[in-house]
Structures are given as structure tokens and as C-alpha cells.
Amino acid sequence: MTSNLEAQLLALQQEGEAAIAAATSLERLEELRVNYLGKKGQLGALLRSMGQMSAEERPKIGAIANTVKEALQNHLDQQRTALEAAQIQAQLEAETIDVTMPGIYRPQGRIHPLNGIIDRALDIFVGMGYTVAQGPEMETDYYNFESLNTPPDHPARDMQDTFYLPDGNLLRTHTSSVQIRYMEKEEPPIRIVAPGRVYRRDDVDATHSAVFHQIELLAIDEGLTFTDLKGTVKIFLQAMFGDLPIRFRASYFPFTEPSAEVDLQWNGRWLEVMGCGMVDPNVLKAVGYDPEIYTGFAAGFGVERFAMVLHQIDDIRRLYNSDLRFLQQF
């Protein structure tokens, strides 16, 4: 019985070592480990017959069994190490980059000049404590005109030819409507900047477009004055254009009083760059603010105008043509 079991153990060792050496994958190696050394493996099955042996025979067979187990385990470990190394080497060879080969050219993307102006302006205003606010491009007559102190019979409506829609709504002519919507939901103090696309029935030429972009700011608080407005506008324009002469000219807007146009001296001549003014008390009343307690100021400018000045662009239509020869300059 002893010699027979001993022979079976040695034969199992030889068979196992040969099978392990022939294994070509880690999956196959795991199958062999379970087959020979697992709880239900061949080595365990042979050792279960040791219960029929005498006490003198068991130590000898036990020692042989341990030797067989260690030998198989060592072969498994060695083959696993070899297979893992081969797998890593194959992966390295497959992923190797030949640095002598020419690379694949991918043109570098650029920020569109309009987006660049918007991002730059918003960074300045956010740094001054303003919150970015946005609203719908399709507006009601109330938010676009009436709440901004421009009732149906107001002559100021003749100043803006508007895209009216069949349902009675319209495409907003300015982002001032965002200010009304924001004030309806929030209580003072308020400091917001509203960027967005606007629409007007302008004939398209070198300086006009039916679709363009505006950025407007609004501040509402107790005790705000025209001096606060002038200081804010000056800081912003200096951040955008540098330390250049600035002047304020009296003007008219239905939703601000007093109102002013802002000019900047650029290349030896005065350029109109912004409109601004103190928020009209009627606008404050429209949103439920008490004009005896709160005052505010607003200002706005056209993004295309800033882009044309800063980048010396001679025709507004260049900003919309998607001509790579033009856009790659920025």
C-alpha cells in the first residue's frame, strides 16, 4: 500500500510539472493549480487514502506528499512569473512608440475673438463682486420694454426696430430684460452682469448686424450715486483698454436717468464704447423696490464693438464668417 501510494505521488509530480511547463497563459496555469493542489484536486484525493495506513507508514507518505506539493507549487510560481513577464513584454512591444516616425499634426484650437472679449469682461466684473446672470432670448413685451419704462406709446420704441413673433413675443433687443427678471426674484443689494445675444432689425453692413452680443451690468443698493457708476466704468475700461482718457456725455435712455454715453480716446480720436446711467425710479417700482430707499446704476456695451476696436477689425461681418484665415490670427 505504501509503495503504491508513493509511486502515485511521484507520478503525479512528474505529470504536474510537465503540464505546468506547457502552460501558455495565466488562465491555464490557474486551472492546473486547482486541478493538482486545490481542495478537490488530485493531490488531496491521494492523501485521503492515508487513513487506511498504519501509524508507522503515515509520516513517510506525509513527507513525500509535502515534497510533491512544494515542487508543484514552486513550478507554478516560476511559470507564473515567466508568463507575467512575457505578457508585460508583449504589451510593451505593442505600445512602443517609434520616436523617429513623423507625428500626427493637429491644429491648435483658438478662442473666438467674441468669446475672448466676453470671457475677459466677465472676469473683470466677477473680480469686482458681480454675479453673472442670464435670461431667455425670446422675451415678452413686458420684460423687454414696458418694465423698462418704455410703455407701448413711448417714443423711445421708435429707436429700436424689433423682431416680433406671431405669438406676440419678440426677440430681445437688449439684455436689460435679464435685469428685470433678476430683480423680481432677489432683494437688494444686487450686483449682476448679464451677457447674451440680442436681435435688432439693422441692415447688415460693416458696422451693423441683426444679431450681436451685449454685456450689461446692474448694481442696486442704498446710497449708490453717479460717482459710483463713473468709478465702476472707469475701472472696467482701464482693465480692458489700458489707462486711456475717458469722458462721459449726457444722453438719453428710457430706463436710466440721468444717462450718459462713455467715450474712450483711442488712437487719437474719441470712440463711443458704452451707455450708462442711474436706474430710473419707475424701473425700481416695476419690480417692487422702494426708490426712496434704493438707488442703482446700469451700463452696457456691444461685444462686437469692443472686439473691432481691440483687434482693429474693419468689418463686423468678419466675426461671423468662420473664415479660418481670419480666425487663426487670434
Annotated binding site for Mg(2+): 257
Residue with cell 513584454: 89
Contact status, residue 291 vs residue 279, Cβ threshold 8 Å: no
Q: Give the Cα-Cα-Cα angle 141, 262, 245 (nearest 5 degrees).
A: 160
Q: Which cell numbers hold the place of 288?
A: 417692487
Name the DSSP class of 314: S
**SS3 per-residue string spanning 9-52:** HHHHHHHHHHHHHHCCCHHHHHHHHHHHHCCCCHHHHHHHHHHH
The CB-side HSE value for 297 (13 A sphere, CA atoms) comes to 18
Q: Which amino acids are annotated as binding site, given as ranges?
A: 257
- Judge whether 271 and 292 are in contact, CB under 8 Å: no
